Amino acid sequence: MHNSARVALFHGVGQPFEVSRQPIVTSNEANVLVRVKLASICGSDLHTITGRRSVPLPCALGHEAIGMVAAPTQLRDAYGNSLNEGDRITWSIAASCGRCYNCDNKNLPQKCEGLFKYGHAGGETNVGFSGGFAEYIQLQPGTAIYRIPSALTDRETVPLNCACATVLDGLDAVGVKSGDNAIVQGAGMLGIYAACYLRENGCESVMVVDYREDRLKYAARFGATQTFNLTDTSVDDVGHAVQQITNHHGADLVLEVSGVSAALSNAVDWLGFGGRCLTLGFVYPGADVSLDAQQVVTKCLTIRGLHNYHPSALGEAVRFVEEKRDRYPFDALIGATYPLVEIDAAFERAQRGDLIRVAVDPQME
């Protein structure tokens, strides 16, 4: 192992990443030093580089990542087992204390008062190995760490610790019932995991709405029973189709993962009595939405948000994809992989939007 390693630093909107070497500190066995195998570019990384949300600069971005334990550690995995050098692992996107008001009283460790979020730390003195776009990442105590089953490929596993865990935790919060008619707004990574999970959990129909045909094609491979492209189908026409498909009962469940402000208003229109809406897409400030609140009241609707997920959801995500990997091409959702020195090209590729995920392999030359 080397004394220093490369990390890609974000310096602000419109500026190229700087790939520089930083010293590695391995003396602290209260942390885990991890050699990053693969890191994928999440939609929220794109919000950051386009200035839709701000981070301290310079910032070590990247929170969807997996790697190998690279030094002896006292930390244990989420099930209490010791961790050994060479173990291939995934981890929760944040570390929490387990003792504060939000951790203990509210069971929201993802909102810990001392939360440390990977891929979001920065500043001249604080940046270090805290993000996935680097050869190494240093994991803190209070991180939920899971060993990756040997059957799973790196590409199948890398988006689990943000996209998949968030979707599974959110759907668990609103509940999925066998026979539900569900709508997914947005066919990105979260929408695709959702389509697959809803179908596998007995939903009668899984209707997926997006503006991009290429993404809707993925959704169809991952369990969508109907897809609607809003570039050539009006919102009203989708509403009519929802009525027909649901025998005029309206949808039971709408999952918003688009971040588009009209989505909640449409969700309220499309839901039937007692309907549930889970919203996950508004992860940037100032997302003002308007909706017909009378429908929320008179249809007895539930609107539920969720952010960062409870760390236990990552264990569920690993189990889900391990169980379903023979039925769905999860591996193909990573459409391109770039070496760390080409991280600018990787972000450009991700911004085109035609690939579900673009990854960076920090060990690739």
Interacting residues toward Zn ion by CB under 5 A: 42, 44, 96-97, 100, 103, 112, 162
Residue 89 and residue 82: Cα distance in Å, rounded? Answer: 12
Which ranges in 54-188 belong to alpha helices (H)? 154-157, 163-174
Residue 244 Cβ vs Zn ion, minimum distance, rounded to whole Å: 35
Alpha-carbon torsion (54, 94, 277, 203), positive or negative: positive
> Among 118, 121, 116, which Cα is nearest to 98's?
116
Shortest distance, position 272 Cβ to Zn ion, whole Å = 31
Whole-angstrom distance, CA of residue 12 vs CA of residue 299: 45
Q: Name the residue nearer to Zn ion (CB basis): 190 or 251.
A: 190
- Minimum CB separation of residue 243 from Zn ion in Å reads 34
Residue 97 CB, shortest distance to Zn ion, in Å, is 4
Query: What kind and span of H or E run contains 236?
Result: helix 235-245
CB of 345 to Zn ion, least distance (A): 20
Identity (one letter) of the amino acid at 256?
E
Q: Can you give the three-state secondary structure of 195-225, one letter per residue?
A: HHHHHHCCCCEEEEEECCHHHHHHHHHCCCC
Residue 235 CB, nearest approach to Zn ion (Å): 28
Report the residue number, 96 or 225, with the smaller CB distance to Zn ion: 96
Nearest residue (CB) to Zn ion, 162 versus 251: 162
- 24 in Cβ contact with 3 (< 8 Å): yes
Q: How far apart are CA 257 and CA 175, in angstroms?
A: 16
Quick one: DSSP state of residue 68? Answer: E
Cβ proximity to Zn ion, 109 vs 250, nearer residue: 109
Smallest gap, in angstroms, from Cβ of residue 22 to Zn ion? 23
Nearer to Zn ion, 131 or 250 (CB): 131
- φ, ψ for residue 176, nearest 5 deg: -120, 125
Question: Which run of H or of E encompasses 275?
Answer: strand 271-279
Quick one: 105 or 150, whose CB is closer to Zn ion? 105
Nearer to Zn ion, 12 or 114 (CB): 114
